[in-house]
Structure 1
Amino acid sequence: MKQRIITAIIAGAGFLSIIIIGDWPFTLLIFALATIAMHELLKMKQMKLSSPIGLLSLFLMWILLLPETILGFRWLHIDKLEMFLLLIIVLLALTVITKNKFTFDQAGFIILSSVYIGFGFHFFIYTRFLEQGLSLLFFILILVWATDSGAYFSGRFFGKHKLWPQISPKKTIEGALGGVLLAFIIGIVFITFIPLFTNWFTTVLFILVVSVTGQLGDLVESALKRHYSVKDSGQVLPGHGGILDRFDSLIYVMPILYLLNLI
């Protein structure tokens, strides 16, 4: 527990500081986090990062992660999504060229992982550089952390009914509801001092989406770990596991907020 607290304080302070700084240090940090997260997924699948397929999967993820201003393909007269689709075609062709040594299942894993990690972290960068991006990103982080804390303590003291025991045996319905409740309490206090939205309907919807989908994102990563029989995604953060273990909720929340036009 002591190691967990020390890691949380040091890593949390560093992460928040770089969010405040913004600009290229923030972009570089997100690039590093996304790269480590992709490595963790490949390791679960027992695919080496240094292999040609591992490097290609990284490149696929970077295409979706980095803004056009950093990684663009206008010199080839194609956009990022067209390049991504081209590389998917290459991956599928490799299943034939390698005579199924590289399988369709592996290709599917790489494509889905690239979208999961790439788009998830991409919208960190996108949100930070919006007009109110710093306040908005802090609001999202606070809501996710409030949900995690509320779910933990509500589940510990009031939890009786399992939420999804096949995926995450310790999570309870009472815990999930407690997480949403604390997110609303903390969220309303935050918005009272730093108004981000023009009406309360948007505020309530935003808090609900972040809290509910954040918990769903946590379950998605739990399902991944259970499928590949691993306890943690990695050991980058002592006492906390890997990058995916800490960012699973956030990288699931961010694209959903974008699709709902909430960021």
Structure 2
Amino acid sequence: MKERIITGVIAGIVFILLIVIGKLPFTIGIILLATIALFELLKMKKVAPRSLIGILSMFFLWTILLPKEWFEVGILSNLNRADLLIGFILLFLAITVLSKNSITFDHIGFIILASAYVGLGFHFLIETRLLENGLALLFFILFLIWGTDSGAYFTGRAFGKRKLWPEISPNKTIEGSLGGVLTALVIGLIYHYFVPISDSLSYLVMIIVAVSVVGQLGDLVESALKRHYAVKDSGSILPGHGGILDRFDSLIFVLPVLYLLHFI
């Protein structure tokens, strides 16, 4: 427990400082976190990060991940993200033939989906911070996710009886899930009182509920991955907390949904 608390405090302080500083340090930090997260997924699949397909998947991830402004200036200005992604997919498919099926379609499908899963989530994390009100929005989203986790945990321990999805996460309960949503609502409305987020209260409530529900779904998605590949944690880089995916599973699932809802 002591190790978990120390790791959580140090990691939390570093992450919050990066968010506050923003700009290039934040972007580079998130790129590093996303790369580690992809390597965690590759290890689940028993794909060596230093193998050819592992290295190519890293570049594929970066193509998805990099902020759009990087494709508008400098050396990347002559490149088109969509063209690069199509090129990578075709190359991956060709490798199944060139490797004489030692790298299978199953491997390629996993790599493409894993890179998109990690890349899109962390991409929108970077893009959110780059917005004019990005700092306020990002802390709003983070407080909702953290509030949901805490509310679900304590409500579940106190009142939890009916299992939410025992085949994937046996400790989660329906009561805990609802408690997480209610906690997020309280935290979100308090935050909005001090830092206005939206002109429409009904839209704000919809966003709060969406973040809370989708965040819990993101946690279940990662739990399903770990259960499928028979691992307890996605990694061990954070003693007492597991890997990067274990800490960011809700956030990277929420942010693409908020983009689709035109919130970010």
TM-score normalised according to structure 1 size: 0.97
TM-superposed deviation, 1:16:
0.4
SS of residue matched to 1:47: coil
**1:89: which partner in 2?**
90
**1:48 alignment counterpart:** 48
Name the amino acid aligned to 1:20.
Answer: V
Provide the C-alpha distance between the structure 1 equivalents of 2:71 and 2:228, rounded to a whole number of angstroms: 33
Structure 2: tracts of 5 or more residues without a match: none
Partner secondary structure for residue 163 of structure 1: strand
Q: What is the CA-CA distance between 1:71 and the residue it aligns to?
A: 5.1
Map 1:143-158 to 2 at 5 A.
143-158=144-159
Residue in structure 1 matched with residue 12 of structure 2 by the alignment: 12
1:23 deviates by: 0.9
Is 1:25 matched up with 2:28? Answer: no
Partner of 1:59: 59
Cα distance in 2 between the residues matched to 1:92 and 1:4: 42
**CA offset at residue 99 of structure 1?**
1.5
In structure 1, distance between residues paired with 2:67 and 2:124: 10
**How far is the alpha carbon of 1:31 from its aligned partner?**
0.6
* Residue pairs, 1:73-222, within 5 angstroms: 73-75=76-78, 79-222=80-223
Distance 1:11 1:149 in 2: 18
User: Could you state the TM-score of these two structures normalised by the residue count of structure 2?
Assistant: 0.97
- The answer on whether the counterparts of 1:63 and 1:71 sit within 8 Å (CA) in structure 2 is no
SS in 1 for 2:164: strand
Amino acid at match of 1:209: A
Deviating above 6 A after TM superposition, structure 1's stretches of 4 or more consecutive aligned residues are: none
- Matches of 2:181 and 2:189, distance apart in 1: 12
Match of 2:227 in 1: 226
Other-structure match for 1:261: 262
Matched pairs, number: 261
Q: CA RMSD in A?
A: 1.0
Amino acid at match of 1:247: F
How much identity, in percent, do the aligned residues show? 60
